[in-house]
Amino acid sequence: MDNAKISAQITKLADLLEFQGANSFKIRAYRRGARVIKDATDSFATIVNNDPSELLEIEGIGKGVAEKITQLIQDGEIAEINTILETVPATVLDILRIPGLGPRKAALLYQELGIQTLDQLQAACKADEVQKLKGFAAKTQQSILDGIAIAAAANERIYWSDADQLADALRLHMQNCPAIQRIEFAGSYRRGRETVGDLDVLVDSTDAESVMDHFSEFPELEQVIVRGDTKMSIRVTNSFQVDLRVVPADAFGAALQYFTGSKDHNVELRGRAKQLGLKINEYGVFRVEGDDESYIAGATEEEVYQALDLPCFAPEIREARTEFHWASDDAIPTLITVEQIQGDLHMHTTATDGKASIEEMAEAAKARGLKYIAITDHSQRVSVAHGLDAEKLLQQWKEIDDINASRNDDFLILKGVECDILEDGAMDLPDEVLAQADWVIASVHFGQRQPRQQITDRITGALANPHIDIIAHPTGRLINRREAYEVDIDAVFQAAQENHKMLELNANPARLDLHDVHCAMAREREIPIVISSDAHSVTGLDVLKYGINQARRGGLAAGHVANTLSWNKLQKLLSS
Ligand code: DGT
Ligand code: CA
Ligand code: CA
Ligand code: ZN
């Protein structure tokens, strides 16, 4: 069990306890513990397996939390959660997923209005019953309504990064099944969508029974939904669904194409096939002559597309947006790959809320094949993250100069900062300080609920500041958790274009901000995108690949992404 899952279980326990109105010290201790676990770089499962008493030596882990962690690792569950769920409806957990609606308010809704499900809550909001409760204003009722949509979606779709972990585990498990010739993952996961609704697995085999027997033994399996002759669906941890299909070799490419989708892409393909006197489905491509159908392709995806006189599109662009136009213009972009990234221009260190030092981040980035990084700690306004004031920042930059001078390689550490755009639009650090940086990121962290014009003006104002190079996570959305700010993205693009600035694609799997369609818009306007990790630890550097997925979905080639350039060339691009 990984730290993220342990942390989620402890948070769930805290949520349920708070819903019940339990002792607030206890709840706070669990929440603190959950945060420590989530941020830790050592595996808590390993610690427990070695010696559970070592947990107590970790700062932020008290006796109560340590007991729960130990129980979770040893028994696979926390008994208290099940006990609470005997008296509290499990659907309450869905309600708790609504952004801004804490356990206390959820408890009130349950006690006063008997609300247990998202549907009931939505109905009560629409009937204006919620705003009549003590502590609920009309505004709260509206934000609950907005949040219900997010919570409902969060219930069904998981982050691509989580689907990726599941896919890895499943691939590993299925490898031991001798009846399998080949296994591929299809669907939205293969297309690199930011969230995945269910995982689609295709297996090439002539022995479906053995394959499905083996699938039944997947350790994360919770429930078999259905088992047929060649198709089987299961639920794994957190009720997530996995669909398995067993297909023969001569249909494998056709099935892979069909189940990769997207649905809209497939609809377009079928139309084209028809025009050519062909038929396409998950079994192959067939020539239709009167009542006769003869198989002409299906073993590989390449031959399927070739039969339709089309190139084998990268899965990420199979959305029926522009790929067919690109194909007819012979203008399909060579999509960016993670190996092409040369530098990472957004990361934090122990100077603020990061977990590693400047040197550690540099070494880790170098080990990952990068040529340069920018250290971009928070500015003073972000006090919860110990943001730096001018003096501390200048000190850090001096330190970076020294480190660069003492290194005997050509790896480059840039002096940067993630400077807050304050609520009134001013920058959080004086211009004369920003002027001394190599790289300045501007971000909105406060006043995210401001009206559209105000928040847009803040961002476009920052883009007009000559010391600012880029806007980080330009829309502020958190997938499944928080909507984007009310920002006029067109105005942001325009300001970036006019001022020759760049925009970030933040690769954190919960952000992926800008998203794919915005990336495509930036591409059309020739605004350079920078894909950044926003790492707060050494392993945080590994998220770049999620940003690459999103960039590919937006049709970006290396030429559209500025940090595929050397630092020298990137600088020239900025000043052009
Ligand atoms: P998801 O699971 O919601 O994240 O999205 P997908 O794209 O993985 O959708 P899913 O799992 O329902 O189906 C996988 C692929 O199978 C889908 O992308 C296209 C294909 N497919 C499924 N049902 C249909 C259908 O009714 N018509 C067509 N043309 N294709 C379908
Ligand atoms: Ca799917
Ligand atoms: Ca599916
Ligand atoms: Zn950051």
Which of 340, 341, 335 shows the shortest CA–CA distance to 318?
A: 335
When pLDDT is averaged across residues 531-540 and rounded to a whole number, the result is 97
What is the tens place of the pLDDT at every residue in 111-123?
899 998 888 999 9
Q: Give the β-pairing of 158-159 and 195-196.
A: antiparallel
Q: Is the CB of 200 under 6 A from ligand 1?
A: yes
- In the chain, CATH 3.30.210.10 sits at 252-328
pLDDT class for 296, splitting at 50, 70, 90? very high
C-alpha triplet 41, 44, 49: angle, nearest 5°: 135
The rounded distance, in Å, linking the Cα atoms of 564 and 341 is 4
Q: What is the CA 475 to chain-centroid distance, rounded?
A: 14
* Res. 392: pLDDT tops 70: yes
Mean pLDDT of 237-257: 94
Residue 152 in this model has a pLDDT that exceeds 90: no
Higher local confidence (pLDDT), 384 or 78: 78
Hey, whose CA ends up nearest to atom 16 of ligand 1? 259
CATH superfamily of 252-328: DNA polymerase, thumb domain (3.30.210.10)
Task: For the chain, give every residue range classified as CATH 1.10.150.20.
Answer: 3-152
The stretch 453-457 carries a mean pLDDT of 97
Pocket test for ligand 1, best of 265, 266, 279, 319 (most atoms within 8 A of CB): 266
Average pLDDT over residues 357-361: 98
What are the residues facing 478 on neighbouring strands? 482
State the CB neighbour count (10 A cutoff) for residue 566.
14
What residue spans in the chain does CATH classification 3.20.20.140 cover?
338-575
319 lines ligand 1 (CB under 6 A): no
Q: What is the pLDDT of residue 420?
A: 98
Using CA atoms of 14, 20, 23, 28 in order, give the dihedral in degrees to the nearest 10.
20
CATH superfamily of 158-247: Beta Polymerase, domain 2 (3.30.460.10)
Question: Does residue 41 have a pLDDT over 80?
Answer: no
CATH (residue range 3-152): 1.10.150.20
- pLDDT reading at 560 higher than 70: yes
Average pLDDT over residues 483-510: 96
Distance 267 CA to ligand 1 centre (A): 11
pLDDT recorded at residue 561: 98
Q: What is the 3-state secondary structure (H, E, C) of 234-284?
A: EEEHHHCEEEEEEECHHHHHHHHHHHHCCHHHHHHHHHHHHHCCEEEECCE
Q: Which CATH number fits domain 338-575: 3.20.20.140, 3.40.1280.10, 3.30.230.10, 3.40.50.300?
A: 3.20.20.140
- Pull the structure tokens for residue 39: 């941020």
> Is 187 close to ligand 1, i.e. is its CB under 6 Å away?
yes
Mean pLDDT over 229-237 rounds to 93
Indicate if the pLDDT at residue 92 is higher than 90: no
pLDDT above 70 for 511: yes
Where does the chain hold its CATH 3.30.460.10 domain(s)? 158-247
**Percentage with pLDDT > 90 across the chain:** 81
pLDDT of residue 154 exceeding 70: no
Tell me the sheet residues that pair with 453.
none
- Over residues 76-89, mean pLDDT: 90
Q: Pick 105 or 183 by higher pLDDT.
A: 183
Q: Indicate whether 146 pLDDT > 90.
A: no
Candidates 157, 259, 313, 319: which one to mutate for ligand 1, based on the most atoms within 8 Å of Cβ?
259
- What is the pLDDT averaged over residues 325-343? 97
Highest mean pLDDT among 104-108, 222-226, 235-239, 495-499: 495-499
Q: What is the pLDDT of residues 251-290, one digit of tens each?
A: 999 999 999 999 999 999 999 999 999 999 999 999 999 9
* Rounded (10°) angle between helices 103-113 and 3-20: 40
